[in-house]
Amino acid sequence: MFNLTRKDFIRVLGGFFAAIWAAFATYPFFRYLMSGAEKKAGEDSQVTSLSLGKADDFIPGSSKNFKFGSIPALMVRTEDGVFHAYNAICTHLGCTVQFSSEKKHIFCACHGGQFDAASGKNLAGPPPKPLAVLKAEVISGELIISRA
Ligand code: FES
Nearest 10 degrees: CA dihedral of 131, 134, 138, 141?
Answer: -90
Using the mean position of ligand 1's atoms as its centre, give its distance from the Cα of residue 98 in Å: 11
Sign, CA dihedral 79-84-90-95, equals positive
Residue 28: is its pLDDT beyond 50?
yes
Per-residue model confidence as pLDDT tens digits over 82-96: 999 999 999 999 999
Cβ 94 vs Cβ 129: under 8 Å: no
Using the mean position of ligand 1's atoms as its centre, give its distance from the Cα of residue 88 in Å: 11
SS (H, E, C) the chain: CCCCCHHHHHHHHHHHHHHHHHHHHHHHHHHHHHHHHHHHHHHHCCCCEEEEEEHHHCCCCEEEEEEECCEEEEEEECCCCCEEEEECECCCCCCECEEECCCCEEEECCCCEEEECCCCCEEECCCCCCCCEEEEEEECCEEEEEEC
Percent of the chain with pLDDT over 90: 68
Neighbours of 55 (CB within 10 A): 19
Residue 40: is its pLDDT beyond 70?
no
pLDDT in the model for residue 116:
98
Any idea where the domains of the chain sit in the sequence? 1-44, 49-147
Cβ 58 vs Cβ 51: under 8 Å: no
pTM metric for this prediction: 0.71
Using the mean position of ligand 1's atoms as its centre, give its distance from the Cα of residue 100 in Å: 15
Report the chain's mean pLDDT, rounded to a whole number: 87
Ligand 1 pocket: which residues have CB below 6 Å?
A: 90, 92-95, 108, 110-111, 113, 125-127
The structural architecture, per CATH, of the domain 49-147 is 3-layer Sandwich (2.102)
Which residues lie across from 27 on neighbouring strands? Answer: none
